[in-house]
A and B are shown apart, each in its own frame.
Chain A
Amino acid sequence: MRTVEISVAFMPLVDAAPLIVAQELGFAETEGVSLDLVAAPSWSSLRDMLAFGRVDAAHLLSPLPVAMALGLGGVSTPISAVSVLSANGNVLGVGRGLERRLRDAGYGFDFADPVKAATALAVAGNGDRDRDRNGPIIFGVPFPFSMHVELLRYWCAGTDLGETGIEIRTVPPPLMADALAAGDIDAFCVGEPWGSVAVDQGVGALILPGRSIWEFAPEKVLAVRTDWAETEPDLLGRLMRAVWRAGRWLGNPDSVGAASNILSRKTYLDVPAELIDRALSGDLTVSASGDQRRVDHFVEFHAGAASFPWRSQARWIANRLRQSHEPAGGVSLDAAAAVFRSDLYRRHLAASGADLPGASEKLEGSIRHPTAVASLNGGTILLPDRFFDGRIFDPSGVE
């Protein structure tokens, strides 16, 4: 088979792993493709690289293509999310000032309970702060259209933090620790390894994993231009299968060490392998004094049909985006949800051994225990996808 090069843009994050591993461990080569991986300096430049044809595929924040379909944020090139690259994988953290006030108030940094954490933060965020500014706690996030923002808003709305409100500000992930140290932000929600970097630089402590708010949130997607998906179906299939096999390899606990080493290289994340290891193994260090917390499924690449792009996930995102922004006229929720291409996933992965769920929508938040569902090979077990407040999102319930 002739080897064809596909250019793929990524942001230096742990969850770019399926793309990096697909290329480095030969999953791409097996499919007769070679991935030209291009590191992007920012999400906006990554989006533009994809929209304007500088690259053919990209590692994208799951809400970004949905936002684009809703006409939010400028660029409106139709983008297809052909698979989910990773579920979960974010951390919420606070700066030293808030950490001290939380500890003084007896907060135990259990890294588990989002309701308690919000209550403690609401109290600690009030009154005299370490700086001469009153008002809501300022959270740094990587991008305005991101799961980070949606998790924060959802969490805030259902807890004591909703009373005081929070402010959300965009800070590029590699600059998050600096922004915290400089006092530009009080707290953050960011993808690994950048939360662990903040901990190791002694500027902050982690308070929650993203999954404590939504237990199975689609974090990044594999995205291509919709017209490219239509004109290059064969290449797309090869790319998707290579990435899916890389995700399956990453889902094996034995792969963690090797994966951390590959990702730590200068051309990829350029941080010590030990920092990457934390997210991949789920053994996180949450404070500068070395407190350890264990989080199962901290980031998931494979188990629980993690890579299947559920229309209901896109619909949840679209519904949330519509509540906080004014979408450009006339885009229906159906159209925005159709950005997650469960149809292409079925078409291109049917022959690869991937198990395909019988449905393309589910009640988001309804799975409390690992649950077997109807699927092509009968082997699909979905993992819990509970929202912290126990609510269930019925995709057919919103128009």
Chain B
Amino acid sequence: MDTKLTVVVVEEDRDRAIAIVDALKDSVDCDVFVISEASGLGRKIAVHAPDIVLIDVDNPTRDMLEELTLASGPLERPVAMFVSGAAGGLAQAAIEAGVSAYVVDGLSPARIRPVMDTAIARFRMVRQMRSELAETRRALEERKVIDRAKGLLMKAKSIDEDAAYALLRKTAMNQGRRVADVAGAVVTASGLLG
């Protein structure tokens, strides 16, 4: 009963995978394997005969794992998606944190719990980092577009930088749009006209 759990993590990003493996090993007595490539996913998972498979909710290859939930799957033993299990609100918490899990039927909720708690905490952190990164990137992109629009306006209207920005901001406010969107329109229009 108390044999070591085998956990497979499907994750392309090496750093994220390492972070998840470390977190799992620190808190649960388990063997963790990482699969990073989508090709032959079912076969690769079957090699490890895992008790639990963890995968990012946003990973498109998740659908391949759904095959394992059918009895004839490559694991050759019944696998149920975790969310169908009896472990209460854990499923929803997992999905909100960005992780989905596939668990071999018959594994007791008490043994699933620590793995899931750790995975949920780790995925939540990773997800937050990722959305912050995306936000930073977007802000940078917008910065660039606004700078180009400012430059175009300065040249076309012979005004200084502050006046160019004020013009962008005023137009955005009048039209109920974001400054970055107005700047994007200026850049596009200038491309068409120029």
A106 located at the interface, meaning its Cβ lies under 8 Å from any Cβ of chain B in the complex = no
Q: Which of B64-83 contact A (CB under 8 A)?
A: 64-67, 69-71, 80-81, 83
Assess whether A172 is in contact with B63, with CB atoms less than 8 Å apart. yes
Partner of B64, one of A54, A72, A74, A170: A170
Specify the chain A residue showing the minimal Cβ separation from B92. Answer: A52
Contacts A41-B62, A42-B59, A175-B38 given; indicate if A170 touches B67 (C-beta within 8 A): yes
Contacts A45-B62, A175-B38, A175-B60 given; indicate if A169 touches B67 (C-beta within 8 A): yes
Contacts A73-B69, A179-B39 given; indicate if A43 touches B92 (C-beta within 8 A): no
How far, in angstroms, from A142 to B63 measured CA to CA in the complex? 8
B171 located at the interface, meaning its Cβ lies under 8 Å from any Cβ of chain A in the complex = no
Q: Which of B81-130 contact A (CB under 8 A)?
A: 81, 83-84, 91-92, 95, 100
B61 located at the interface, meaning its Cβ lies under 8 Å from any Cβ of chain A in the complex = yes
B176 located at the interface, meaning its Cβ lies under 8 Å from any Cβ of chain A in the complex = no
Q: Given A44-B81, A142-B63, list of 13 further CB < 8 A pairs?
A: A42-B60, A52-B95, A73-B81, A74-B81, A75-B83, A75-B84, A143-B66, A170-B64, A170-B67, A172-B63, A172-B64, A174-B60, A325-B70
B172 located at the interface, meaning its Cβ lies under 8 Å from any Cβ of chain A in the complex = no
Most chain B CB atoms below 10 A, which of A52, A142, A144: A144
B57 located at the interface, meaning its Cβ lies under 8 Å from any Cβ of chain A in the complex = yes
Contacts A172-B64, A184-B39 given; indicate if A41 touches B69 (C-beta within 8 A): no
Specify the chain A residue showing the minimal Cβ separation from B80. Answer: A74
A76 located at the interface, meaning its Cβ lies under 8 Å from any Cβ of chain B in the complex = yes
Partner of B40, one of A143, A170, A172, A184: A184
Assess whether A73 is in contact with B61, with CB atoms less than 8 Å apart. no
- From residue A67, how far is it (CB to closest CB) to chain B in Å? 10
A25 located at the interface, meaning its Cβ lies under 8 Å from any Cβ of chain B in the complex = no
B58 located at the interface, meaning its Cβ lies under 8 Å from any Cβ of chain A in the complex = yes
How far, in angstroms, from A52 to B96 measured CA to CA in the complex? 10
The interface size of chain A toward B, counting residues with CB under 8 Å, comes to: 28
How far, in angstroms, from A143 to B64 measured CA to CA in the complex? 8
Most chain B CB atoms below 10 A, which of A44, A179, A184: A44
Partner of B62, one of A44, A51, A169: A44
B66 contacts across to A, CB distance below 8 A: 43-44, 73-74, 143-144, 170
A51 contacts across to B, CB distance below 8 A: 83
Q: Could you list which residues of chain A lie within 8 angstroms of chain B, going by C-beta atoms?
A: 41-45, 48, 51-52, 54, 72-76, 142-144, 169-172, 174-175, 179, 182, 184, 325-326
How far, in angstroms, from A179 to B40 measured CA to CA in the complex? 10
B39 contacts across to A, CB distance below 8 A: 179, 182, 184
Partner of B95, one of A42, A48, A73, A174: A48
A52 contacts across to B, CB distance below 8 A: 83, 91-92, 95
Most chain A CB atoms below 10 A, which of B64, B65, B69, B81: B64
Specify the chain B residue showing the minimal Cβ separation from A172. Answer: B60
A41 contacts across to B, CB distance below 8 A: 57-60, 62
- From residue A220, how far is it (CB to closest CB) to chain B in Å? 16
Specify the chain A residue showing the minimal Cβ separation from B57. Answer: A45
Partner of A73, one of B62, B70, B91: B70
B62 contacts across to A, CB distance below 8 A: 41-42, 44-45
B70 contacts across to A, CB distance below 8 A: 72-73, 144, 325
Specify the chain B residue showing the minimal Cβ separation from A43. Answer: B63
B84 contacts across to A, CB distance below 8 A: 74-76
- From residue B90, how far is it (CB to closest CB) to chain A in Å? 12
Assess whether B81 is in contact with A75, with CB atoms less than 8 Å apart. yes
- From residue B35, how far is it (CB to closest CB) to chain A in Å? 14
How far, in angstroms, from A345 to B76 measured CA to CA in the complex? 42
How far, in angstroms, from A38 to B60 measured CA to CA in the complex? 15
Q: Can you list 20 A-B pairs with a CB-CB distance of less than 8 A? A: A42-B60, A42-B61, A42-B63, A43-B63, A44-B65, A44-B66, A45-B57, A45-B58, A48-B100, A52-B95, A74-B81, A142-B63, A144-B66, A144-B70, A169-B67, A170-B63, A170-B66, A171-B63, A171-B64, A184-B40
A73 contacts across to B, CB distance below 8 A: 66, 69-70, 81
- From residue A225, how far is it (CB to closest CB) to chain B in Å? 14
B83 contacts across to A, CB distance below 8 A: 48, 51-52, 74-75
How far, in angstroms, from A182 to B41 measured CA to CA in the complex? 13
- From residue B107, how far is it (CB to closest CB) to chain A in Å? 15
How far, in angstroms, from A143 to B61 measured CA to CA in the complex? 11
Contacts A48-B100, A52-B92, A172-B61 given; indicate if A326 touches B71 (C-beta within 8 A): yes
B71 contacts across to A, CB distance below 8 A: 326
- From residue B87, how far is it (CB to closest CB) to chain A in Å? 13
B64 contacts across to A, CB distance below 8 A: 169-172
Specify the chain A residue showing the minimal Cβ separation from B58. Answer: A41
Partner of B100, one of A44, A72, A169, A175: A44
How far, in angstroms, from A334 to B92 measured CA to CA in the complex? 30
How far, in angstroms, from A319 to B61 measured CA to CA in the complex? 28
